[in-house]
Structure 1
């Protein structure tokens, strides 16, 4: 993706964070905690700073944006690894659809998931210090899907404190 398109893509996704009301959940509710980790959708995450956009191709075909709490943003800005306890990353995802106004562009379509990573090295010691949550329509997905979270992060990004997302310049 060319730099100008990437910037336009990032700006569109960041503005879509506010507009993606379809993914809103009863924030912080224990009834909506993820299985295994007990992670919930954090309050106020839609106002958190933008970390990076992402574009997932086949088979998911999603546009994604990652936002972070102040602890996450400071760690990214300072280049701190491992991330400190209290870091929270939230990834929002939508199906991508071709823009009707500008054919080369893609825009968010139907919301797919909200994914949350919470750093607590004591509580989640067995999974690199991270707890995971994946939510569809504000409700946690089943346990089987959560069992795959850490395995994928461990296999691919262990040397980056199990985090895929890099800070967008």
Structure 2
């Protein structure tokens, strides 16, 4: 085959690829980074976000937790705005509780357990109070069964606070 015949074929393949991207055809979800059911992923640079509140879970969980929020979340908390606006993202980090080797009465983070994410999009997540959920263990999404319990727990306990457990720490 001559080089001149290959050029139209290559250009045709580029056109098809470009049309697929431009059409907004959904890409296959990356099951290694996106939660089942909701399609939520761990946000980039979330560790640089603001602290919303610390938390401590007693037995049987026995974890230390902190909740971080993006700027939209922090602004909503400061303004006392409920429901939270679309674009709010909350990330909960959790570690097993461990006694400090330097100071016996103190508890410090031990082994990390989960990263949990809530994303507010009232249109996309209308069926779950406007929130999408993601639970990640070792950087990978938890299974679908664990995600099915997210909204049910929030709905049963904190429906009156826009389905969010965390209050802003003064």
Select the structure with the greater relative contact order (CA < 8 A; seq sep ≥ 6).
1
Query: Residues 3-18 of structure 1: matches in 2 within 5 Å?
Result: none
Deviations 1:19-74 (A, max 9, x none): xxxxxxxxxx8341000000000011000000000000111100000000000000
Q: C-alpha displacement at 1:100, in angstroms?
A: 1.0
Give the Cα separation in 1 of the matches to 2:67 and 2:61. Answer: 17
Please list every run of 5 or more consecutive structure 2 residues that lacks an aligned counterpart in the other structure.
1-28
- Report the counterpart of residue 30 of structure 1 in structure 2: 30
Q: C-alpha displacement at 1:164, in angstroms?
A: 0.2
Give the Cα separation in 1 of the matches to 2:57 and 2:167. Answer: 15
- Report the counterpart of residue 45 of structure 1 in structure 2: 46
Give the Cα separation in 1 of the matches to 2:84 and 2:34. Answer: 23
Give the Cα separation in 2 of the matches to 1:39 and 1:46. Answer: 17
- Report the counterpart of residue 136 of structure 2 in structure 1: 135
- Report the counterpart of residue 78 of structure 2 in structure 1: 77
Question: CA contact under 8 A between 1:30 and 1:40: conserved in structure 2?
Answer: no
Q: C-alpha displacement at 1:96, in angstroms?
A: 0.4
Larger Rg: 2
Query: Would you say 1:67 and 2:68 are equivalent positions?
Result: yes
| 1:148 counterpart SS class | helix
- Report the counterpart of residue 15 of structure 1 in structure 2: none
For this pair of structures, how many residues does the alignment match? 141
- Report the counterpart of residue 158 of structure 2 in structure 1: 157
Please list every run of 5 or more consecutive structure 1 residues that lacks an aligned counterpart in the other structure.
1-28
Deviations 1:117-160 (A, max 9, x none): 00000000000000000001110000000000000000000000
Q: After the TM superposition, which parts of structure 1 deviate over 2 Å for at least 4 consecutive aligned residues?
A: none
